[in-house]
Amino acid sequence: MLGKKLGQLSDTLSKMKDMKKQMAAAQKRIALIRVTATAGAGMVDVTVSGDGIVTNIKIKKELFEGDDVKMLEDLILSATNEALKKSKEAMAHELKSVTGGMDTSELGKMFGLDGD
């Protein structure tokens, strides 16, 4: 009985080690992902990595010719928020491929992939 439980524990620990390796590989893939969102009919583009880092912002020159700073700010916010949303979705997809669809909210936090 005890031997069986020790065997199960050993199997579980082995699976956890494998999952940790897979999570490390997924974390590297996530960092390489780039998603872009656009606002203002292509006037502002924001690119974000899979781990939530803004990597690029492109703003069409025409937006600087006007005096509407508030509109520019709103377009940047809109594109950034949409890119961050896409980034979280991409990260969740990568984690799902490792965990086989398990709820990754707590598991991701364990491996530093909480996205917050």
Residue 68 sits in a domain whose CATH number is 3.30.1310.10
Distances (CA, A) of 12 to 17, 23, 86, 94: 9, 16, 33, 22
- The confidence score (pLDDT) of residue 102 equals 63
Domain assignment of residue 58, yes or no: yes
- The confidence score (pLDDT) of residue 5 equals 74
The Cα 44–Cα 33 span in angstroms is: 20
Domain assignment of residue 86, yes or no: yes
Number of domains the chain is built from? 1
- Contacts (Cβ under 8 Å, ≥6 apart) of 42: 60
- The confidence score (pLDDT) of residue 107 equals 52
User: Which of the residues in the chain have pLDDT under 70?
Assistant: 1, 101-116
Domain assignment of residue 115, yes or no: no
Domain assignment of residue 68, yes or no: yes
50's tokens: 């899979």
Phi then psi for residue 12, to 5 deg, are: -60, -45
**Counting every residue, how long is the chain?**
116
- The confidence score (pLDDT) of residue 75 equals 95
The Cα 106–Cα 23 span in angstroms is: 13
- The confidence score (pLDDT) of residue 77 equals 97
What domain range is 48 assigned to? Answer: 30-110
Domain assignment of residue 35, yes or no: yes
- The confidence score (pLDDT) of residue 67 equals 83
